[in-house]
């Protein structure tokens, strides 16, 4: 059965934050909420978490949807625009001090998540850092 009626999809106890439905908690110091899901519990009651391939993070999708959201990584990255300005952000470590992949992209909106597992979210909601 898809979804769980009444499930709020929120994640409490993410440092000082409560993550909204459609977000998951990135643990560490400081903890932060990031767009996407790691399980159905991060999604609303009529949604489920769709992860493509071996990706650790997916997107919440409606149980009523019949679209296949798992596409080849190159096709999904193609919907995003290569942006050398974002490379500057990608060259810096993230908030946890971890290095980011070096190639910057801007995606059409904050709900577009490249399915390429090498991509990580940059500082702005539409910016992503990928390995290629």
Helix or strand run (H / E) with residue 74: helix 73-78
Which of 36-40, 42-46, 76-80, 116-120 shows the lowest per-residue confidence on average (mean pLDDT)? 76-80
Residues in the chain: 132
pLDDT band at 23 (very low <50, low <70, confident <90, very high): very high
pTM listed for this prediction = 0.52
Contact at 8 Å (CB) between 105 and 81? yes
């Amino acid at each position: 059965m898809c979804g769980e009626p009444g499930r709020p999809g929120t994640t409490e106890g993410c440092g000082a934050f409560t993550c909204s439905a459609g977000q998951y908690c990135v643990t560490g110091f400081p903890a932060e909420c990031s767009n996407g899901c790691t399980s159905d519990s991060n999604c609303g009651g009529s949604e489920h978490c769709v992860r493509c391939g071996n990706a650790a993070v997916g997107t919440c999708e409606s149980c009523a949807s019949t679209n296949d959201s798992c596409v080849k990584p190159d096709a999904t990255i193609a919907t995003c625009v290569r942006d050398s300005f974002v490379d500057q952000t990608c060259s810096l470590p993230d908030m946890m001090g971890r290095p980011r992949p070096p190639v910057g992209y801007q995606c059409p909106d904050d709900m577009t998540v490249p399915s390429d597992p090498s991509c990580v979210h940059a500082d702005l909601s539409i910016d992503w850092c990928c390995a290629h």
